[in-house]
Chains A and B, each alone.
Chain A
Amino acid sequence: LGLALYAGGLCTVSGATFLYHDYCVIGAGPAGLQAAYFLQQAGRDYIVFERSHAPGSFFALYPRHRKLISINKQYTGKSNSEFNLRHDWNSLLSHDRRLLFRHYSRDFFPNADTMVRYLEDFASLLKLRVQYNTAIIHVTLEKNEQAWNGHYFLLTDQDRKNYKCSSLLVAAGTWVPNVVNFPGSEYVEGYETVSINPDDFVGQTILILGRGNSAFETAENILGVTNFIHMVSRSRVRLSWATHYVGDLRAINNGLLDTYQLKSLDGLLEGDLEDLAIVKDKMGKLHITLRFYLENRNISAGIDSITLPQDELDNFATRAPYDRVIRCLGWKFDFSIYNRSLRMMPGKGNIKKYPQIKPSYESRGTQGLFVLGTASHSVDFRKSAGGFIHGFRYTTRAVHRLLENRHHGVPWPSTVYPITQLTNSIIKRVNEASGLYQMFSVLADIILLRENATAFEYLEEYPIGVLAELERQTGRKAGSGLFVIIMEYGKNFSGADKDVFYYNRAVGEAQHAWQSNFLHPVIYYYKRLPTEHEMRLRPPDWPLPRPDAIHHIVEDFLTDWTAPNAHILPLRRFLENCLSTDLRNFFAESCFLFAFTHQKLPPSCQQGYMRMQGLLGSQELLHHAVQAGLLQDYSHTDFSGDRPSESHDGSQEQLMRDHGIPVHPLQHLVNAKDE
């Protein structure tokens, strides 16, 4: 079948032979395979190009010390597979339950070789169409009005074989090492090649450039055998547990912070690497000096003629000579293979290692070119998890859904529910959905209300950056208002310099939920879809523009938002007030009474009882409802009618008035987070 497909895809343009596919995916890493899976499931014509002989070639080499820092949590105490994905940062999405990472490794921080094996299995078990040993070395465009996007993508591999596609999905990752040039940078060893054998560092004094996880991982490995390690970078250390960003320094790698602060000779320094210069003395020792000194001296002269900072400042911090300098500065996207016409531009500022893309993951320069995986992290760099497997497996699915709608007329999947299910559908998702949780503030569930608010349509994990384009991107109508459900950290909680352990950091009461700090669900209500203009003018640090109403579900220690009074009740009140209706559930008996005494019925009676699906309730439950004062017990009424006329003005008021004694939550337990 594959052969036939390939043969069918052969075509000839200007003498060269092109193999045609609707979709070309560059890179068979996690993102490329994830995209392939969805394309395969949808029955699309696609091919994945991989330069190596096997998937996940990046993981074959990196991390050098082989320990992945993405968690592989085997036990959560829950069987909910969707929920468990919240704590499984390595698995890709598929229907095959064998392809869960916990079946591959028992380590909380697994070995990178396991990832390679997992990716191999993922590609082979799911029979994904991957063409290995194919390095795409050039990508260009061919204008054609018939093409989906007005042009085809022409790809050339290392053997000058050509391929042609309607849509190009770039999942090539960021693999070009960042290097920095300064006088003496030739003495610097790169993370890519530096020895990982601690024996090679015995009794040495090491300087590490960079302050990311790779730098600390390198330091961690040799911490015990070196004289001391110094670490230089321009930025202060960003601890992931303070920034809530998984790409910052993870606690598993931070042994050097410990030895630094306990004055065990290791240390961290801040300084711009551009200012640095390294000179080698006759003994082969490396001295740190400043570029400034070199520029004023004759470089050809020996070390003795070069001023070192300590000559002027005799307590200069890095005056001790080093045996080795190691560069651990991360990677960047390979821009080199794209023809200028594709306008693949680097981002601005701290995202210049990534290509410029829109929040829909489509390239800013070329229509039909989507960037997936790590290379797409510019959308949520230093915020969410879009640069990591546990994040981009969801953004890849979102891109696939956008493409299905755009090219195949398959609208964004959605489920229609009666309005009585509104609270439930939100509670269900915020409690188990993994995409919302991992890609917090980036992917959102959208509830599109139907006219008269008697029903609604539920769309999962839509990229909120393109909320304004929702109707066009999903093929769904948003005419009668919408809810947007996302997860957020507290606005001022995260940051490299923030104390995330301060007292009373956790909010316990629902009425102060908007001050919640830890990840918690937030629901935005819009009477109409925000426009692109409004999206642009949204408050800084806000994922969305000002809504017509907003609701925060109070943060929860167990991330279990199913408490009837603290979580569900305030949510219901919020939804009721947005829709101006009464979303309470009623027993059949109440509906019966309403049917005889009201011309209109509340939605739960209308959509349940009146359709012969009333909730009759067991004796115990009815008794409890009576005890709570929420249901009147008429069975003991004597017939003389001695009750005053209090209740004649409608049972609605009656229900309101007869509130029972409130059950006050145990405050100290609610706030137990600090103790």
Chain B
Amino acid sequence: MSAQKGGWVSSLVFLLFCASSIPKCGSASLQQEPSPQHYFSGLEAGKTSLAFFTPSVSPGAQPFLEQIESSAEVLKDYGISVVKVNCPKEDVSRYCGKENALRKAFLFRGNRLIREFPTDALFDVNSIVANILFALLFNEVKYVETLADLENIENVLKGKSNMVFAYVPATGTAEHRAVMEAAFVYGTIHQFVLTTEAALLKATSHDDPDVSSAWLLFCHCQQVTEPAQPCRRTALAQPLTLLSIHRHLKLMGAPLVTEVAEDPEKISTVHLQLGLPLVFILSQKETYEADRRTAEFVAWQLLGKAGVALLSRDLVELNVLHRSNVALKTPEEGMPIQYLVLEDTDEVITLVEDKNKVKQIQEDEQEEEEDEDEKENNNQDIQDDQVVEAVSRDKKRELPLEQILVLTEENFHSSLSEAARTVVLFYASWEAVSLAVLRSYSEVAAHLKGTLGVLLSRVNCWDWPGLCSQENVTQFPTIKIYKEGQQSVTYDGMWGTEELSSFILLSQVPCPLKLTTMDEAEGYLRGEIPSELSSHHHTSLLGVFSTDTSKAREAFEEAGNILSGHVRMGMYFEDDALALSRKYSVSPPALLLARSGGRSVEGIALSKHSVQDMVQMIRYELLDIFPEITVSNLPQYLQLGKPFLILFSAGNISQMERKEMLKLAKGRPQQAFVACWLNLKKTPVGHGILRTYFSTTPPLPVLLWVNLHAGGQVFKFPSEQSITEMNILSWLEKLQAGLEIPSSTLSEEDWKPPLPAYDFLQMMEPSVPELSPQPGKTPDPPKIPGGDTARGGGDTASREEPSQESTAEEFGSPGRDLRGTAPRLAARDKQGKRHSEL
């Protein structure tokens, strides 16, 4: 069987060679001789030649000739000429006369015949080169058949020279040729020993060897001093090729440990040149002997895989940790030397072998990329979403939710009518933001405990999706406040405890609240009315309308609806409205604004009467002139789309600073910028901002101009100047004139995916070949109805049923099959239409 296979392979090789050698036929390296006489007369002593004799017409030997011709070039390199000798018809000499001789090739040194080869031993270039060199290197390459022969040779060599022992599964193979070619070069230095005996292979290698592949051992017999001592052996780990053997012998020839006394960066050894790493054992005078032993031990372990050098630290100035004891230099250009602190020689070996392993994979399958990817991406499965991670770390804590009513599809509508205001949090129990809000919501519940007329409740949309979609909740979380189970307001503010509590409280009172007496109006402005809100400080807004300004009044009421929950709005339109507005020196329709904390009341004339304008104006008026920026109010000021002039302060700002900044904010056209300040105590994240702008926190307070919307430059007000309106104004002028250099610029970076995803498409491709990137390249496999012809094909009906055919085949399983017991009977009767509905 294997012979047959071998024959097949060789004929294939032969075919390939035919194909490749046709144009080369009659190449220059093949000598032609007109006759045997001519040939023998021309033979020089000491020159080797391979001759074959052909009659002028030789039909049979043609394939052999082509192989010979193509190996002529190779043999020429070894000083062997290949000669084709033409036999004249009448010649009946030794070489031409006998039919037998024409089927052979003859190897001559001078005119002495060394060997004759039957042409079937020379089936391809490998076999020709291997066999001819084998014949020529009879002394250099010993052929052994038994273990005893091998041991004899080994014993003889001990103390004298090294041995190269090769096992090849058969002579005439590519491996055999590689060994012979190596022997041609190294045969005078090392003793070569060859075998084809599988038993010998088994005796010389440790584990169960694969007898079908070649194997080469370098036996270090030269250093052996005691006859009883065995020769150390180093096996060649790669497949046998001339190159790998050459490389191996070169490495075996290199000194075991190189002593180095110069900068390791500059060192180059055989190992590095051959692409192997070099391990330095760092030594000191005191430990030299021990280090040397260590180095030798490691060197033996790494023989053929890496070089080992002993580096004396006393001789070389090394700028590395004193503790470092090992260094690794890799053959890659420009890779820095790694200095390591290792405790065990095994670690050195692992270090090298792992490197090699990675390299091997890279060479073999280029899987290394993936490997590295995996290493790089092993963060992929680590949560990097702060909200999700925070919530999942908090999931074991039991939330105080007893104040919050759980609503279901069953009790939802009945519960809504129980209280004047029902707050409903719609959330999903698996969703992180929802759960974060649920935590704040539970705090709101604690805040509002005891507040009359407000019921806090929640609906888990994961349990009641129908209810949520019915209430028009499409995203989580959503908070709605239902008034008497009727209309609802959707909360659109910050998801924070205070903001939400305040919204719920403000939503309790009508917006705007209708005030009926002057006293009420005054009380409202003082924050005393309505009493529910008296303990909370909000800016109070009072619309004052005379009876004839109904249009403005309607717009104001509508604006109140929109701003409900966010603003405390009152409305006064009694007969004496004029008197009230006069008190604040405006005429109706007008707004009276009593800011929280401040006692003064501002009067603003209402000039625009559209709802949208009114909402916008109210929102704008509620903004501070010189606000303290916090996490929750920043978006309101950012919406103005202006640059920020912001004073970062370690705590509260001084009266002086406030006064100057207020002057600046009030005195200038306000449209130009937002003057504000930030209390780092209250908003510690401000430190993060400062650190981003300046690598360290600058001396505080610090005044900055931040172009948040255009260009992103950050300018720092000179710290040596005092913060006064005048100084700032002149600085701003310089800024505008482009005379100042920005301290920092905001990052323009896009928000890209923080980490790559699993590339399943790429992972699937090897196992799903039909998933090729170009669908055009893999057209549907032609559908050949299986076995159709055998079953009386040509029947269009059956041809149209490929799937049926294939299922039918699938069912041809062993078992108690009618067809199985009477197969021939049934098969004969397979024509015609088939029943298909089973």
Q: A143 in the interface, Cβ–Cβ < 8 Å?
A: no
| Cβ contact within 8 Å between B380 and A573 | yes
| Cβ contact within 8 Å between B836 and A350 | yes
| Cβ contact within 8 Å between B499 and A616 | yes
| Cβ contact within 8 Å between B397 and A620 | yes
Q: A74 in the interface, Cβ–Cβ < 8 Å?
A: no
Q: Which of A292, A613, A617 contacts B825 (CB 8 A)?
A: A292
| Cβ contact within 8 Å between B757 and A270 | no
List of B residues within 8 angstroms of A284 by Cβ: none
Q: B571 in the interface, Cβ–Cβ < 8 Å?
A: no
Q: A290 in the interface, Cβ–Cβ < 8 Å?
A: yes
A628 to B695, CA, bound (A): 24
A648 to B698, CA, bound (A): 13
List of A residues within 8 angstroms of B56 by Cβ: none
Q: Which of B433, B497, B636 contacts A585 (CB 8 A)?
A: B433
| Cβ contact within 8 Å between B494 and A588 | yes
List of B residues within 8 angstroms of A620 by Cβ: 394, 397, 439
Within 8 A of A (CB), among B715-760: 746-760
**Known contacts A415-B474, A417-B474, A586-B386, A290 near B803 by CB under 8 Å:** no
**Known contacts A349-B800, A585-B386, A634-B688, A232 near B464 by CB under 8 Å:** no
List of A residues within 8 angstroms of B826 by Cβ: 271-272, 275, 290, 292
A421 to B193, CA, bound (A): 74
Residue in B closest to A571 when the chains form the complex, CB atoms: B757
Within 8 A of B (CB), among A642-668: 642-643, 645, 647-648, 650-652, 655-656, 659-660, 662-663
List of A residues within 8 angstroms of B746 by Cβ: 596-599
List of A residues within 8 angstroms of B821 by Cβ: 309, 313, 315-317
| Cβ contact within 8 Å between B692 and A651 | yes
Residue in A closest to B428 when the chains form the complex, CB atoms: A428
| Cβ contact within 8 Å between A309 and B493 | no
Q: Which of B464, B752, B776, B838 contacts A80 (CB 8 A)?
A: B464
List of B residues within 8 angstroms of A338 by Cβ: none
Separation in Å of the B652 CB from the closest CB of chain A? 15
Q: B437 in the interface, Cβ–Cβ < 8 Å?
A: yes
| Cβ contact within 8 Å between A79 and B390 | no
**Known contacts A513-B760, A645-B696, A275 near B818 by CB under 8 Å:** yes
Q: A133 in the interface, Cβ–Cβ < 8 Å?
A: no
**Known contacts A546-B771, A616-B495, A352 near B836 by CB under 8 Å:** yes
Q: B810 in the interface, Cβ–Cβ < 8 Å?
A: yes
A598 to B752, CA, bound (A): 13
List of B residues within 8 angstroms of A421 by Cβ: 474-475
List of B residues within 8 angstroms of A440 by Cβ: none
| Cβ contact within 8 Å between B818 and A318 | yes
Q: A625 in the interface, Cβ–Cβ < 8 Å?
A: yes
Q: B802 in the interface, Cβ–Cβ < 8 Å?
A: yes
| Cβ contact within 8 Å between A618 and B692 | no
Separation in Å of the B834 CB from the closest CB of chain A? 6
| Cβ contact within 8 Å between B817 and A271 | yes
Separation in Å of the B391 CB from the closest CB of chain A? 7
**Known contacts A569-B385, A581-B751, A587-B386, A550 near B380 by CB under 8 Å:** no
List of A residues within 8 angstroms of B757 by Cβ: 549, 551, 570, 573-574, 576-577
Within 8 A of A (CB), among B638-662: 638, 650
Q: B266 in the interface, Cβ–Cβ < 8 Å?
A: no
Separation in Å of the B784 CB from the closest CB of chain A? 15
Residue in B closest to A578 when the chains form the complex, CB atoms: B757
List of B residues within 8 angstroms of A572 by Cβ: 385
Q: Mark A131-142, 1 if CB is under 8 A from B, else 0.
A: 000000000000
List of B residues within 8 angstroms of A570 by Cβ: 380-381, 757-758
A640 to B636, CA, bound (A): 32
**Known contacts A272-B835, A330-B837, A514 near B632 by CB under 8 Å:** no
Residue in B closest to A565 when the chains form the complex, CB atoms: B383
Within 8 A of B (CB), among A147-200: 178, 180
Q: Which of A81, A552, A593 contacts B688 (CB 8 A)?
A: A593
List of A residues within 8 angstroms of B697 by Cβ: 637, 639-641
Q: A210 in the interface, Cβ–Cβ < 8 Å?
A: yes
Q: B301 in the interface, Cβ–Cβ < 8 Å?
A: no
A312 to B825, CA, bound (A): 10
Q: A9 in the interface, Cβ–Cβ < 8 Å?
A: no
Within 8 A of A (CB), among B285-318: none
Q: Mark B394-427, 1 if CB is under 8 A from A, else 0.
A: 1001000000000011000000000000000000
A318 to B803, CA, bound (A): 29
Q: A353 in the interface, Cβ–Cβ < 8 Å?
A: yes
A485 to B13, CA, bound (A): 53
Separation in Å of the A194 CB from the closest CB of chain B? 18
Residue in A closest to B438 when the chains form the complex, CB atoms: A618
Q: Which of B394, B636, B761, B838 contacts A547 (CB 8 A)?
A: B761
Residue in A closest to B380 when the chains form the complex, CB atoms: A573
Interface locus among A102-110, A233-241, A393-401, A470-478? A233-241
List of A residues within 8 angstroms of B811 by Cβ: 234-236, 270
| Cβ contact within 8 Å between B747 and A656 | no
Within 8 A of B (CB), among A197-224: 210-212
| Cβ contact within 8 Å between B688 and A616 | no
Separation in Å of the A101 CB from the closest CB of chain B? 17
Q: Which of B439, B476, B772 contacts A621 (CB 8 A)?
A: B439
Residue in A closest to B758 when the chains form the complex, CB atoms: A511
Residue in B closest to A570 when the chains form the complex, CB atoms: B758
| Cβ contact within 8 Å between A655 and B386 | yes
Q: A87 in the interface, Cβ–Cβ < 8 Å?
A: no
Q: Mark A546-575, 1 if CB is under 8 A from B, else 0.
A: 110111100000000010110011101110
Separation in Å of the B651 CB from the closest CB of chain A? 10
Q: Mark B686-697, 1 if CB is under 8 A from A, else 0.
A: 111101111111
List of B residues within 8 angstroms of A295 by Cβ: 829
Q: Mark A304-330, 1 if CB is under 8 A from B, else 0.
A: 000001001101111000000000011
Q: Mark B487-502, 1 if CB is under 8 A from A, else 0.
A: 0000011111101000
List of B residues within 8 angstroms of A309 by Cβ: 821-822, 825
Q: Mark B604-648, 1 if CB is under 8 A from A, else 0.
A: 000000000000000000000000000110111010000000000
A243 to B515, CA, bound (A): 75
Q: Which of A349, A432, A584 contacts B465 (CB 8 A)?
A: A432
Residue in A closest to B760 when the chains form the complex, CB atoms: A514
**Known contacts A235-B807, A309-B822, A550-B760, A630 near B386 by CB under 8 Å:** yes
Separation in Å of the B686 CB from the closest CB of chain A? 7
List of A residues within 8 angstroms of B265 by Cβ: none
| Cβ contact within 8 Å between A82 and B465 | yes
Q: A404 in the interface, Cβ–Cβ < 8 Å?
A: no
Within 8 A of B (CB), among A625-639: 625, 627-628, 630-635, 637, 639
Q: Mark B770-798, 1 if CB is under 8 A from A, else 0.
A: 11110110111000000000000000000
Residues of B within 8 A of A (CB): 379-394, 397, 408-409, 428, 430-433, 436-437, 439-440, 443, 462-466, 474-476, 492-497, 499, 631-632, 634-636, 638, 650, 680, 683-689, 691-698, 700, 706, 708, 712, 746-761, 763-764, 768, 770-773, 775-776, 778-780, 800-804, 807-808, 810-811, 813, 815-819, 821-822, 825-826, 828-830, 832-838
10 CB < 8 A contacts A-B = A236-B811, A292-B826, A349-B803, A352-B837, A569-B383, A580-B752, A581-B753, A597-B692, A600-B751, A602-B751
A-B contacts besides A80-B463, A329-B838, 11 pairs, CB < 8 Å: A81-B465, A235-B838, A236-B810, A275-B819, A290-B825, A350-B836, A352-B836, A564-B388, A589-B631, A596-B692, A615-B436
Residues of A within 8 A of B (CB): 78-82, 178, 180, 210-212, 232-236, 267-275, 290-292, 295, 309, 312-313, 315-318, 329-330, 332, 348-350, 352-353, 415, 417-418, 421, 424, 427-428, 431-432, 491, 496-497, 510-511, 513-514, 534, 537-540, 542, 545-547, 549-552, 562, 564-565, 568-570, 572-574, 576-577, 580-582, 584-590, 592-593, 595-603, 609-618, 620-622, 624-625, 627-628, 630-635, 637, 639-643, 645, 647-648, 650-652, 655-656, 659-660, 662-663
